Structure 1
Amino acid sequence: MSEPLYTRDILRLAVSIPHQQRLEHPDGSAEQRSRTCGSVVTADVVIADDETLELLGLTINACALGQASAAILGAEAIGRTVGDIVRARSGLADFFEGKADFPGDWQNMDKLAVAKDHRGRHGAILLPYDALIAAFADAAKRKAA
């Protein structure tokens, strides 16, 4: 029998998402929606002068896997650059595609390994990263204007 998809670890993470609120005056914002499952993630960011994430606001309407992924991202993202977030997302995607042996080195990222064989869930898991990357891009665009 295979390991259950919604493990206790996934469910614990899903109910512990940090930074779950919209920011009042973000430098950038983005909403990403999964065409596959309908999950929606909105990210608001405030970027420090050194281009690191200073404040994060997230709203999540996703399955437990998407929520767990957002919890991992929310716990790790503050103080990171967009490059750090892109690398984390790429590592996770590479793991799901069989190009890497481990989903990543952020705390609890290994808990997402249960979804490797569930291709239909990968988009929901990557969605919080996509929203945060897009919010960084929006902040850069606003700053350049």
Structure 2
Amino acid sequence: MIDELYSARILKLAANLPHSGRLAAPAGTGERVAKLCGSKAIVDVVLDDAGRIADFAQDVKACALGQAAAGVLGESVLGASAEEIEAARHAMTAMLKSGGEGPEGRFEGLRALKLVADYPARHASTMVAIEATLDAVKQALARKSPDTRTSLAGAA
């Protein structure tokens, strides 16, 4: 089963990390660390006038599964709203913890990580990039408009 977990598709996603690095002037930055294994993601974002991600960079130091999730995220995140990222995070959590199908739409590629559900010790590393992205977007929205703080307060 462990060979299936580290399939060629997962390893390919892990090797290709779109938008790698940091932004010079981010509107929001999020950082998450998986305490069990030390996987870490730092994400910078810039939002457009509609609150969607216009620019994105990620600095991810994680296992192949965390890198693969960050790879899918990096391929799909430009143009995403906070609501889309939050929905993807919830769908990922359901997929990993309770047999859900996984994200739909722009983040459907994260379904490639469905087998991680059988390895609870790997869940946190798989989630660091999406969690850091959501944190960065929420920070950027809060800086942009005080009204946004109220609507996303429960999203953490």
Is TM more than 0.5 here?
A: yes
Identity of aligned residues (%): 30
Structure 1 residue ranges without an equivalent (≥5) = none
Aligned partner of 2:41 in structure 1 is 41
Alignment of 1:40-119 (within 5 A): 40-100=40-100, 102-105=101-104, 106-119=107-120
Aligned to 1:142: 143
Q: Displacement of 1:89 after TM fit? A: 0.9
Does the aligned pair in 1 maintain the 2:62–2:125 contact within 8 Å?
Answer: yes
SS for the counterpart of 1:130 is helix
CA RMSD of aligned residues (A): 1.4
| CA distance, structure 2, for counterparts of residue 144 and residue 79 of structure 1 | 19
Q: Which amino acid in structure 1 is aligned with residue 66 of structure 2?
A: G
**Is the CA contact 1:27–1:47 (under 8 Å) kept in the aligned structure 2?**
yes
Aligned to 1:25: 25
- Once the two structures are superposed, residues 61-101 of structure 1 have per-residue CA deviations (whole angstroms, 9 ceiling, x without a partner) of 0000000000111111110101100100110110111242x
2:31 is paired with a residue whose SS is strand
Offset of 1:11 from its aligned partner? 0.5
Between the aligned partners of 2:43 and 2:143, the Cα distance in structure 1 is: 15
Match of 1:9 in 2: 9
Query: Residues of 1 paired with 2:8 and 2:70: CA distance?
Result: 16
| Residue of structure 2 equivalent to 1:123 | 124
Structure with greater helix percent: 2
Q: TM-score, normalised by structure 2?
A: 0.86
Structure 2 alignment gaps of length 5 or more: 147-156
CA distance in 2, matches of 1:3, 1:125: 15
2:51, 2:141 within 8 Å by CA — same for their partners in 1? no
Write the deviation string for residues 3-28 of structure 1: whole angstroms up to 9, x where unpaired: 52211111000011100010011111
Paired with 2:111 and 2:134, the residues of 1 have a C-alpha distance of 21
4+ residue segments displaced more than 6 Å? none
SS at match of 1:116: helix
Q: Match for 1:142: what amino acid?
A: R
The one-letter amino acid of 2:7's match is T
CA contact (8 A) 1:3 1:114 kept: no
